[in-house]
Every structure is written in structure tokens, then in C-alpha cells.
Amino acid sequence: MSQYECVDLTIDGDLATVVLNRPEKRNCLSPTLHRNMVDALNEVAAEKCKVLVIAGAGDAFSAGMDLEQCFLEPFDDPEKFNEINQPCFEWFTHLRNFPGVTVAKVNGWAFGGGWEIASICDIVVAAEESVWGLSEINFGIFPGGGATWSYAHNMTRKQALYYALTGNTLTGKQAVGLGLATMAVPLADLDAEVDKVVADLVGKGRAVLRKTKEVYEKSLQMTFEESIDWEMAKMWELSRETNDDWIRTALKSFAKREFKPGLQSYKLTNDV
């Protein structure tokens, strides 16, 4: 694994953990951090990890973009401005389309870009005490760089516009009810809860995790009838890729009453 200035990356088998590491700046997203994340995510993808956990060092997840380094300083130089900020959009897009399961562990502040990172992850485990906010309105702009997309696709219209228009904050506990987080636990229990989620995920098949995400995302854009056709096509694709493992091993094992699919997970033999 490579060493990065603003990111700590660890890979342990099927699990990759990326920690945003600028605690003195509440893990604000600087140009260096953006470049680090581009490289780190490429490294994780090359290892074909099943699960990627994104966390923040210290007492924050991420307080958003480093306003001075990303916007103020390069603003009068359009070429430099684009050069500095393009890696941000690159790794945000990579995270959004990551083939493995992405889990955000939100321990503290999640503002602006930090809110966006959490929102585009597949699963979010938040500390009840964490504080979320879209503060862009407070300095005269609207949430950009994918942030509007991220809150619009997680919240109802009334709730989304309320927080975008007022800049008011919410807690991790509230984030669950608003659709931003999967679950919220006391900060003291956050590590243990994420470990439980990760253990559950890494026990599933690599191919079926990937296909489940693909089918879900595409089905959002389809009619019911179209989705049926898409789901069945992807089902046969998955069967082909895994040599029909779900029939040959999993369901045959179920028929012998060797495991209970409602309560247990079967380890496929042709996982890809």
C-alpha cells in the first residue's frame, strides 16, 4: 500500500479503509487530499476489495471543501482553478460508482463536501452526536460539485430545500429519519457497529454484491416492466459469471437443510 500525505489507507483482505487525515482542519478537502483520494481509490479498486470504509481522523468526518485552497486562492486563475478541483470530481464520481460496497463512518462534522461523501456511499453509519450541514447558503452560493444531487437523491423535496436554503444543521440521529444515514448509534459504539456491518458484507459474494448495486441503480430509472426485464437479464449474467453457484451450491445446500437463507449467508465457491 502507498503512503499518502492527507489520507491513511489500509487494505486487509476484502476490506479497504480510507481515513481522511487532516484532523487539524476537521478533514477539510484540500487539493492534496483530492489527489490522494484519486490514487487511493484506484489502488483499492485494483485490489478488488468487497468493502470500502470511508472515515475521518479526529473528531470530524469532514467539514467540507478547504475554501481557501480550493476556491479563494486559485479563483483568478481559471486554468489553475480547474486543475485543483478536477480531482475532486474525479474521486467523488469514482466513489459513487465504486463496484464494491461503500460504507461511510460519520463520527463528527459532515458539512458540504463531507455531507456529499457520506450521501453517495451505499451505507452510512453515523454517530448520533455527529453534526451535518449544508452551509453554502451562508456565504452566498448553493451546494455544487454534486452536493445538490446528493441531497436531492436522499431526501424529500421539502426537507432537502429546508436544509439547503437555511443552512441549519442536523444530528446523526436526525439524518437517519431524513434518509441521509442508514443507522445512528452513540459515538462510543460507532466502531463496533461499523465492524458488525463490515463483517456481514465481507461474508457475501463479491459478484452478487456488485450486481445488487448495479440492478438497484439502473432500476431507479425504469418502469416496473422494464425493471423486470433488466433484473432477469442481470440474474442470468450473474449466473453465468459464477457458474450457477446459487443453484449448484447454495440452493442444493438449502435443500439438504444445511443452512437457512433467511438467517444465514452461504459462501459461494465460484465468487468473482
Model confidence over 250-266: pLDDT tens digits?
A: 777 777 776 777 666 76
Structure letter (DSSP) for residue 100 = S
Q: Is the pLDDT of residue 272 over 70?
A: no
Identify which of 135, 139, 128 has the alpha carbon closest to the alpha carbon of residue 151: 135
Using DSSP bridges, classify how beta strands 101-106 and 51-56 pair: parallel, antiparallel or unpaired: parallel
Enumerate the domain spans of the chain. Answer: 7-202, 206-255
Identify which of 72, 80, 71, 88 has the alpha carbon closest to the alpha carbon of residue 32: 88
pLDDT tens column, 76-116: 888 988 888 899 999 999 999 999 999 999 999 999 999 99
- Measured between alpha carbons, how far is 159 from 173 in angstroms, rounded to an integer? 15
CB under 8 A, 24+ apart: contacts of 33-39: 33/6, 33/7, 33/66, 34/84, 34/85, 34/87, 34/88, 34/90, 34/91, 35/87, 36/4, 36/5, 36/6, 36/7, 37/7, 37/87, 37/91, 38/87, 38/90, 38/91, 38/94, 39/2, 39/4
- Measured between alpha carbons, how far is 234 from 231 in angstroms, rounded to an integer? 5
pLDDT tens column, 114-133: 999 999 999 999 999 999 99
The pTM (predicted TM-score) of the whole model is: 0.92
- Measured between alpha carbons, how far is 167 from 111 in angstroms, rounded to an integer? 10
CA 77 distance to own-chain centroid: 32
pLDDT tens column, 39-51: 999 999 999 999 9
The verdict on domain 7-202 having CATH code 2.60.40.740 is no
Higher-scoring residue by pLDDT: 257, 6: 6
